[in-house]
Chain A
Amino acid sequence: AQSVSQHNHHVILSEAASLELGCNYSYGGTVNLFWYVQYPGQHLQLLLKYFSGDPLVKGIKGFEAEFIKSKFSFNLRKPSVQWSDTAEYFCAVTRAGFQKLVFGTGTRLLVSP
């Protein structure tokens, strides 16, 4: 089935560690890729998105993601995490011509001070 996969369900890091969260999708054709974040007690908000151009996308709060078309991947990275990055992170895809977001299962990140 066509889907979005996030392989890490739970990640625990110490402050200042580097972060990489994996995201793979299985759709053919043109896709648009998103990372959303849900901080504790808050609603989903957009971190970054890619739909064309430079495959390395920079988002808010120092996050970036790289689209690698040959690997069907859109991994999220941050060089040095902070305690305030503790949240759940969702990768999502829309297919060209379709409006619905298809989400991965999410990755819970806990950053210990």
Chain B
Amino acid sequence: GAGVSQSPSNKVTEKGKDVELRCDPISGHTALYWYRQSLGQGLEFLIYFQGNSAPDKSGLPSDRFSAERTGGSVSTLTIQRTQQEDSAVYLCASSPRGGGSTDTQYFGPGTRLTVL
């Protein structure tokens, strides 16, 4: 597609429920990233994929968070047993090359997650 797409655009859930957030990167981009943007913490890195493997998971805040990528394309971020502090905008980005540190990351519109 023309850009990174994410779904859903908005998700409201109850505390304790599981949620899945989806990211479709730009076609042909090999690197994929998840970030979250919240009022208290700003923009934070969560996880980076190179192809289907995740060499850097250092930003995942707890074991309730997991992510996978299949076919070197679509990625799903799963949050189990959601808590109110998980409320944030979850952003996905992709980059065209091998995920080098100079690569431009292209961001999607985000999924706004609200945990009641």
Known contacts: A99-B31, A103-B43. The answer to whether A43 contacts B101 by CB under 8 A is: no
**Sample of 28 A–B contacts (CB below 8 Å):** A32-B101, A34-B104, A43-B3, A43-B91, A43-B108, A43-B109, A44-B91, A44-B107, A46-B105, A51-B101, A51-B102, A94-B101, A94-B102, A95-B101, A96-B101, A97-B101, A99-B31, A99-B56, A99-B95, A99-B99, A99-B103, A101-B33, A101-B35, A103-B42, A103-B43, A103-B44, A104-B42, A106-B42
Chain B interface residues (CB < 8 Å from chain A): 3-4, 31, 33, 35, 42-45, 48, 56, 58-59, 91, 93, 95, 99-110
Q: Quick one: closest A residue to B48, CB to CB?
A: A99
Chain B proximity of A101: nearest CB distance (Å): 6
* Selected contact of A98 from candidates B35, B42, B56, CB within 8 Å: B56
Partner of A43 from B44, B99, B107 at Cβ < 8 Å: B107
Closest residue of chain B to A97, judged by CB? B101
Give chain A's interface residues, CB within 8 Å of chain B: 32, 34, 36, 42-46, 49, 51, 90, 92, 94-106
Assess A90 versus B43: contact at CB under 8 Å? Given A43-B110, A99-B33: yes
Question: Which residues of B sit under 8 angstroms from A49, Cβ to Cβ?
Answer: 102, 104
A101 adjacent to B56 (CB under 8 Å): no
CB distance from B67 to the nearest CB of A (A): 14
B56's contact among A51, A100, A106, by CB below 8 Å, is which? Answer: A100
